[in-house]
Structure 1
């Protein structure tokens, strides 16, 4: 888990960030693992706990706010942004009018200096801008996670910090599909079809 930058670079040169192919079919609910809890910050300083999930004692009004499908894109280094965009762009185009879908792009910041509270607040203010200008139901929500993410990465078996990681979650926060690196057409098709299946689940 604590391997060096050069090991990541070497691996990136071999496969361009495609550490594995995306799931071709949806992961059955009984076999799906839960996405580990993660606290993130919006650029205005507000915090959010991901994933947003449903549980048995929620009132009807709260249940309406729980998405049936959530795509969470993880970026640990700036160079993976193009990989994230290759998935999030088509996803947003397809489901922009759906009230039951959410899209989060999470940027991880692990430098102790940037996590120092005065610097963190300054950094968030610098990043404060509209993430998406449209009025569609689904908007790309860019959020930031500060601090040591060792155990979070360990839970998700994330080794290479130079590639992008995509996770499609159902309303219970279970990982039902995952992808890596740059998207290709076949993988995008599997993401979109799996999302449609989640929207149909009761």
Structure 2
């Protein structure tokens, strides 16, 4: 879990961030693992614990509508943003009218200096992104930031390489029903979209 940058870059050169192929079909609920909870910050400083689920998330679940599906896109280094976009842009296009899906792009910032409160607040203001192109969509990309050590969070998700992007599709109970890595292929995108449609149909 604590391997170095050069091990990550060496692995990236071999497979371009595609550490594994995405699921071809949706993971059955009975065998799906729970996505670990994590506190994140919006650029306006507001915090939220993700994922929003229909049980076990207390205040957040009561304050917010619980989505039938959530797409969690994890980025640990800026170099993986193009990988994340290869999934989120087609996903947004396919489900732009859906009010029962949430999509979060989570950027992890593990520097102790940048996690200090005055610096953290300044950084969040700088990182504000405009969603003007999506303002008429029911589905919005939500950009959030997670500060501090993420060792145990990554350990639960078996995330080793910090240079690639990670995509997780969750159901309303926070279970991982599909996952992908690196740049999306057409076949993987088709699998993601069909798995999401399946979750929207689940009772």
- TM-score tier, shorter chain, comes to over 0.9
| 1:19-58 matches, cutoff 5 A | 19-55=19-55
- Matched with 2:112 is 112
1:96 aligns with 2:91: no
Deviates more, 1:114-123 or 1:145-154: 114-123
- Structure 2: distance between partners of 1:168 and 1:102: 10
Greater shift after overlay, 117-126 or 81-90?
A: 117-126
Task: Verify the 8 A CA contact 1:131 1:142 in the aligned structure 2.
Answer: no
For 2:132 and 2:192, the matched residues in 1 are separated by: 22
* Corresponding residue for residue 16 of structure 1: 16
User: d(CA) in 1 for partners of 2:149 and 2:132?
Assistant: 28
C-alpha RMSD of the superposition = 1.8
Please list the CA deviations of residues 90-115 of structure 1 after superposition, one character each: whole Å capped at 9, or x if unmatched: 00000010011111000000011111
The Cα shift of 1:63 comes to 9.4
TM-score w.r.t. the length of structure 1 is 0.95
Which is further off, 83-92 or 128-137? Answer: 128-137
TM-score by length of 2: 0.95
Q: Counterparts of 1:112 and 1:63 in 2: how far apart (Å)?
A: 31
Unmatched segments (≥5 aa) in structure 1: none
CA distance in structure 2 between the partners assigned to 1:52 and 1:73 by the alignment = 15
**Does residue 147 of the first structure (1) align with residue 148 of the second (2)?**
yes
Q: Which runs of 4+ in 1 moved over 4 A?
A: 61-64
The reply on whether 1:175 has 2:176 as its aligned counterpart is yes
From the superposition, tell whether residues 64 and 153 of structure 1 become closer, same or farther in structure 2 (CA, over 3 Å). Answer: closer
Name the counterpart of 2:166. Answer: 165
Alignment correspondent of 1:122: 122
Alignment gaps of 5+ in structure 2: none
- Using the alignment, how far apart are the partners of 2:198 and 2:171 within structure 1? 10
Q: What are the Cα deviations for residues 47-75 of structure 1, in whole angstroms up to 9, with x where unaligned?
A: 0110000029x9xx959811001000000
